[in-house]
Every structure is written in structure tokens, then in C-alpha cells.
Structure 1
Amino acid sequence: MTAFIARRLLGLLVTLAAMAALVFWALDILPGNAAQMALGPDAAPEAVRALATQMGLDQPAWSRFLHWLLALLHGDLGTSASYGDPVSTLIAERLALTVPLALLAMLLTCVLALAVGVTAAARHRSGTDTTLMAITQIGVAVPNFWLAILLVLLFAVKLQWFSAGGFDGWDQGIAEGLRALWLPAVALAAVQAAILARFTRSAVLETLREDYVRTARAKGLSERAILWKHVLRNAAVPVVTVMGLQFAELLAGAIVVENVFTLPGLGRLVFQAIGNRDLPLVRGCVMLLATLVVLVNFAVDVLYAAIDPRLRGAAR
């Protein structure tokens, strides 16, 4: 197990290095002048040149990349050109909202998807199965931003059960904070839960056809015992794969949903940074999101080995 984790860690480090180079060069080749964007179109050329020098834009690209990479290794993401504050400070403030939002949406996704997927598989080719799969098909087709608008109109405007947007912070209490994130989390989770439910149903149905399941039935085990003790563990590997990918999707989807609900999270920060062409802030946010995706994939690989020891043997 130790060797398995060590190999995955090496792959993680190589991936992060490649991502750092890709993020820097992709943003570096964008057209436009970041100093001009920061000062406005009517700024004096001397002021633009002075700010460009201060931001290091007069240096060669490879030199700027090395300075940024060395600073990144020391935990320094630079200073925002539009806010004037350290990028790490701005990101940390926004993560206090985005991470709980993504975790709440992921929790809703897992609970809904597993319940629907297992129920549909256990009642294969019945009316329940057909109805649940029809609902998930609708869920897959619904864009999360459109669902977010419908949730605001129904639960905030008409019923007035929740606020239409905004976030007062966690100082009001955890319950109030989660209440403000409930509608955005539902909007994020609905589509992902529909996708995961269909994958769960397929994985469970495929596992139910295995020989050891027929052997368990021949021994007289109940369908409930077979499902919960034998089938779900073996069907978990493909489901966990999709869960890892979906957490990254939730973080990316938060950019749109946070803007619908005017939440001061990381997604809204990225949107504003792109509009202001704040390259240090955009680099920091994108690199953080890429790092989170890679770390989630690493955690999924380790979880694979914990669920199915055969994967450790295959790696050796």
C-alpha cells in the first residue's frame, strides 16, 4: 500500500508541475495589456509603463514564469492588481464559502444518487425503475443556472422560505449560513445527482449479474443482504470514479451559480478577476482549482485501493 501511494504521489507532483506551466503560458498569451486594463483606457502611457514594470510585464516570459513558480513553491501567489491585496488572502476569504457550498452539494448528490440508483437497480424493469430513470433524464438535461433561477423564483420570491441571494457570513451561526447555501447547493447537486444515479444503477445491475451473486442466492441469502453486503462494495469502484470527477464539476459550476445567487465565493472572484484581467488573481484561482482536482483524483485512487485490494496487486 505504501508503494502504491508513493507512485500516486509522484504522479501528482508531475501533474501539478505540468499544470503550473500550462496555467502560466495559457494566460500569458492572452491579448491585451494587464496594466492598461488596471488603470483604464484613459490612463497616461507613462503610468501604464510604470505599472507594467511594477507588475514585471517588461520581463521575458520565461523569467516571469520562473519567478512565479519559485514564489508559488513558497506559498506566495502574488498580489492582486485590482484589489491590491495578497492573492492568497483573497482566495482564503472566498474558500470559506465555496468549500462548504461544494461539500453540501456533494453530500446532496451522493445521498440522492445512491438512493435513486440502488432503488432503480433493485426494482429493475418495474414502474419504479422507469419513473426514476425518466426523472434523472430530465435532471441531466436541466442547466444548473436555469434551475437556480427557478429555485429563486419559487422558494425566495413566491414562497419566501429562503433569501434570493447574498451571504452574511458564518458569524450569524452555522444554521443560518447553511440556510443561505441550501438553494445554491440544490441547484449544483441536481444535475450531478441525476448523472451519478444513472451510473450507480448501471454499476449495481452489472454486479448483480456476477457469479458470486448467484451463489449467494443459492445459499439462501435475502436480496437485501446480497445488495448491501456483496453488491454495493464491488459496484463502488466506478461510482467513486464519477464522484471524484463530479466534485471538480461542482467547483467549476459554482462560478455560474454563485453569480446567480450573488454569493461572494471563489467562483464570483474568478469571474471578477477575468473581467478585470487581474492575471495574478486569475493564475492563483485557476491553479488552486487545478490542484483541488488533482488532489481529489489522488484521493480517489487511494480509495480504490482501500475498496478493492486487487487494484494494489495490479499496480505491483
Structure 2
Amino acid sequence: MTLFIVRRFIQTVIVIFIVTLLVFMIMRSMPGDPVVLFLGPDASKEQITYFTQEFGLDQPLPVQYIKWLGNILKGEFGKSIAYRQDIGPFILERLKVTLMIAIPAFIISVIVGVLLGVAAAVKRGGLVDSIITVMANLGMATPIFWLSILCVYIFSLKLGWLPVQGFTWPTDNFSLSIHKMIMPVFILSLGPLAQFARQARSAMLEVIRQDYIRTGRSKGLGEKTIIFKHALRNALIPIITLMGMQLGYMIGGSVLIEQVFVIPGMGNMLITAILNKDYQLVQSGVFMIATGVSLCNLLVDIAYGYVDPRIRIS
């Protein structure tokens, strides 16, 4: 098992390195000068030269990349051009906001989605199965940007039940924080919830046809024991794979949700940084997201080994 984890960890480090290199190259290939965008069109040549040297943009590209990567490994993220502050604490604050939305959405989507998928598989061909399948298809097909605007229009503007936008920490105002999080969390969880339901249904349908399930029933085991202790565990491999993918999506793909609800998270920050060509902030933000997603996938690979020992043996 140790060799299995080490091998996956090395692959994770390589993936993160490739992602940082690609982002560095893409940002440098974009037209425009971040210093000019920062200073404005009336900036003098002396000002442009001074700030270009201050941000290290006058050095050759390989030197800039190696220097940035070396600082990242030492925990130094540099200074943002657009926000004029240290990137490390700034990203950490934005990441906390994103996780406040992403983690509850992930937990809801996993629990509700898997339970709905199991119910649909057990009641295959019945009314429950049909309703869950139709709702899952609708959940996957509905654009979250459109759904976000629709929910704001109905629940905020028309009914006045929920705030239109913004984010409040629970420690500042718990009730207001919950009210502001309801719509973003619900909308962010909807698509993954539908995918979990479909995946759980498909995996369970394959498992409940196996001989050992019929043997368990013939021995008089209870239906709940058969479904949740034996069948669901053997159906977990594809569900765990989807869990890793969806958690990464929620952390890195919440840009639309944060834009609609004006949530000061990672997605909102990266949009502003890209528009301002804030190289350091974009690279550091993507590095944090890539590291989080890669670690999620690493944990998924390790979970494979515990769920199915044949994987770690191979």
C-alpha cells in the first residue's frame, strides 16, 4: 500500500508542475501589459519601467518561472499587481469563502444523490425510478448560470425570501449567513447531485444482479443489510471516482455562482485577476486550485485501495 501511495503522490506532483507551466505560458502569451493596465494609459515611460522592474517582468521568461516556482515552494506567493497586497493571505481568505460554499454543496450532493440513486435502482422500472431519473436528467441539463438568475428573480426579487447577493461569515451574523448561502449552495450542488444519482443507480443495478446478492436474500438477510452493507460497498468505486471529480469542480468551477451572487471567492478573484493580467495572482490561484484538485484525486486513489484491495495489489 505504501508503494501505491508513493507512486500516486509522484504522479500528483508531476501534474501540478505541468499545470503551473501551462498557466505561466498562457498568461504570458495574452496581449497587453499588466503594468500599463495597473498604471493607466497616462503613465510615463519611467513609471512603466520602474514597476516592470519591481514586479520582475523585465527578466527572461524562464527566469521568471523558476523564480516564481522557487518562491511558491518556500511559501512566498509574491504581491498582486491589481490588489497591491500580499497574495498568500489574500488567496487564503478567498479560498475560505469558496470552501464555505463548496463543501456544504458537496456533502449535500453526495448524500442525497447516492440515496436517490440507490432508491431508483431498488425500485427499478417503477414510479420512483422514473421520477428520480427524469429529475436527474433535468438537473444535469439545466445551466447553472440561468438557474441562478431565475432563483434570484423568484426567491429574492418576487417573493423576498432570500437576499439577492453577497456573503456574510457565520461568526458575524449566523442567520444572515445561512440565508445568503441557501441559493448558492443549492444551485452548486444540483448538477453534481444529479450525476451522483445517475452513477449510483447505474452501479447499483450492476451489483444487485450478482449471485452473492441472491445468496444473501436466500440466507434471510434483511433488505437494508443487503443493499447498504453489501451491494452499496461494491458499487462505490465509480461513485468515489465521481466524488473526486465533483469536489474539484466545485472548488475550481464555482466562477459562475460567485459572479451571479457577488461572492468574494476564488472564482471571482481569478476573473478580476485575468482581466487585469495579474500574472502572480492568476498563477498562484490556479496553483492552489490545481493542488486541491490533485490532492482530491490522490485521496480518491487511496480510497480505491481500501474499498477494493485488488487495486492496491495490482
Partner of 1:287: 287
Whether the 8 Å contact between 1:207 and 1:235 is mirrored in structure 2 is: yes
User: Counterpart of 1:62?
Assistant: 62
Offset of 1:244 from its aligned partner? 0.7
Q: Number of aligned pairs?
A: 314
1:107-118 maps to which residues of 2 (within 5 A)?
107-118=107-118
Q: Which whole-Å deviations, capped at 9, do the CAs of 1:50-82 have from their partners, x for residues lacking one?
A: 221222121110111111011011011110001
Is the deviation greater in 241-250 or in 41-50?
A: 41-50
Q: 1:172 — aligned with what? A: 172
Identity of aligned residues (%): 36
CA separation in 2, counterparts of 1:251 and 1:95? 9
- Tell me, in whole angstroms, the C-alpha distance in 1 between the residues paired with 2:212 and 2:150: 46
Structure-2 residue corresponding to 1:201 = 201
Deviations 1:232-274 (A, max 9, x none): 0010110010111011111233111011011111111111111
Residues 272-299 of structure 1 deviation map (CA, whole Å, 9 limit, x = unaligned): 1111111111111111111111010001
CA contact (8 A) 1:167 1:180 kept: yes
2:174 is the counterpart of 1:190: no
Contact 1:38 1:277 in 2 (8 A): no
**Is the contact made by 2:20 and 2:286 (CA closer than 8 Å) also made in structure 1?**
no
Note if contact 1:16-1:291 (Cα within 8 Å) is conserved in structure 2: yes
Q: Which residue of 2 aligns with 1:210?
A: 210
Matched with 1:87 is: 87
Instruction: Kindly state the Cα deviation for residue 157 of structure 1 after the two structures are TM-superposed.
Output: 1.9
- Give me the whole-angstrom Cα distance separating, in 2, the residues matched to 1:169 and 1:135: 32
The Cα offsets for residues 287-314 of structure 1, whole Å up to 9 and x where unpaired, read as 1111111010001111111211121111
SS in 2 for 1:170: coil
Q: What SS does the corresponding residue of 2:59 show, helix, strand or coil? A: coil
Superposition pairs for residues 99-248 of structure 1, below 5 Å? 99-248=99-248
Structure 2 unaligned segments of length 5 or more: list them.
none
1:300 maps to 2:300: yes
- How far apart are residue 224 of structure 1 and its match? 2.4
Residue 8, structure 1, aligned to residue 11, structure 2: no
Q: Deviations over 1:72-104 (max 9, x none)?
A: 110111100011101111111112211111101
Q: In 2, Cα distance between the equivalents of 1:29 and 1:156?
A: 42
Contact kept in structure 1, 2:105 and 2:186, CA below 8 Å: yes
Task: After TM superposition, give the deviation of residue 107 of structure 1 in Å.
Answer: 1.1
| Stretches (4+) displaced over 6 A | none
CA distance in 2, matches of 1:187, 1:163: 15
Structure 1 position 170, deviation (Å): 3.5
Contact 1:101 1:184 in 2 (8 A): yes
Distance in 1 separating the partners of 2:173 and 2:118: 35
Give 1:177 shift.
Answer: 2.5
Cα distance in 2 for partners of 1:111, 1:159 equals 29
TM-superposed deviation, 1:18: 2.1
TM-score, normalized by length of structure 2?
0.95
Name the CA distance, whole Å, in 1 between partners of 2:18 and 2:166: 37
- Conserved? CA contact 1:105–1:185, under 8 Å: yes
C-alpha distance after superposition, 1:157-179 (max 9, x if no partner): 22222211112333324454333
| SS of structure 1 residue aligned to 2:164 | coil
What is the TM-score of this pair, normalised by structure 1? 0.95
35-44 vs 97-106, greater mean Cα deviation:
35-44
Q: Which residue of 1 aligns with 2:32?
A: 32
**Cα-Cα RMSD:** 1.5
Query: Which AA in structure 1 matches 2:192?
Result: Q
Measured after TM superposition, the shift of residue 141 of structure 1 is 0.8
Q: Shift of the alpha carbon at 1:2?
A: 2.1
**8 Å Cα contact 2:162-2:180 kept in structure 1:** yes
Looking at structure 1, the residues matched to 136 and 10 of structure 2 have their Cα atoms a distance apart, in angstroms, of 38
Q: Which residue does the alignment assign to 1:42?
A: 42
What's the counterpart of residue 75 of structure 1? Answer: 75
Task: Look up the SS of the partner of 2:235 in the other structure.
Answer: helix
- The more displaced of 216-225 and 290-299 is 216-225
